[in-house]
Amino acid sequence: MERRRFVKGCVAGAAALGAAGRAAAGRAERYPRVALAEAGGAPLRGAALAPHEAYVFFYPFVSTPCLLLDLGAKVLPASGDAWPGGVGPRRSVVAYTAVCPHEWSHPDRDFSPIHYVAPGERDVLVGDRDRLIVCCAHSSAFDPAAGGRVVQNPARLPLASVLLEWDEATDGLHAAGLRGPESFERFFAAFDRERRVVTEAPRVLRLRDYSKAVARC
C-alpha cells in the first residue's frame, strides 16, 4: 500500500513539474528590440550564419549569453506550442539563453561548458544523438528544434528562447524578448555580473572565437 502511494506521488509530482514547465515555456517577456551585429559592428545578415555553427551574443542583459543557431532547415513549432519556431528565409534560425536552468552554467571568455552537437558529431553524454545543445557541467541536454525542451536531465526546465525577428528586406535579425523560464535572478545571485539591460546592437561571435575552450563531453 505504501509503495503504491509512493509511486502515485512520484507520478503526480512529475506531471505537475511537466505542467509547470509547459506553462513557463508559454510566457513571453518583452525587452528592448535590438538589431544583432557582426563582430565588427555592421548589421548581421541571416545569410552570414553558417548552418550548425554555434554563435554567442549577450541579451537581454549585457552579461547574459545566448546561443544563436541556423539549424539548416525549417524549424516549426509543434501543434499548440506557444514557441514560434525559426525565423529567416528558411525559418531555420533560432536563439536561446546559454544559461543552463539546472545550476546556471554558461559560457565565459575562458571556457564554455555549453556547446552544440552538430549533425554527424558525437558526444559521450548523449550517445548517438546530435543537433542538441549540451551542458557538460552536469550532462543536461536540450533540443533547439523543439523550443529548447529538455531531452536529458538533470535540468527540469527548457532553455528560454530569444524572440527573434527577421527583416525580409534587409535580411537583418533582431532580438525583441524572451519566451519561457529564465534563471536570471538565480544567475545574478550566483555570479557577480552586470545587470544592465542591452539597448544597443549586441555583437555576434562564433562560440569557439568567444571562449578560449569549448567543452566536448
| CATH number, position 182 | 2.102.10.10
Instruction: Give how many domains the chain has, as a whole number.
Output: 1
Does the pTM exceed 0.85?
Answer: yes
**Dist. CA 97–CA 68, nearest whole Å:** 9
Closest Cα to residue 148, out of 216, 187, 95, 186? 95
**Residue 167 near residue 153 (C-beta atoms within 8 A):** no
* pLDDT tens-digit readout, 157-205: 999 999 999 999 999 999 999 999 887 989 999 999 999 999 999 999 9
What are the distances in angstroms from CA 83 to CA 80, 127, 159?
9, 27, 12
Residue ranges making up the domain that contains 68: 2-214
Q: What are phi and psi of 45, to 5 degrees?
A: -100, 145
Q: What is the pLDDT of residues 127-153, one digit of tens each?
A: 889 999 999 999 999 999 999 999 999
Cα Rg of the chain (Å, integer)? 17
**Structural contact between residues 55 and 49, judged by C-beta atoms closer than 8 angstroms:** yes
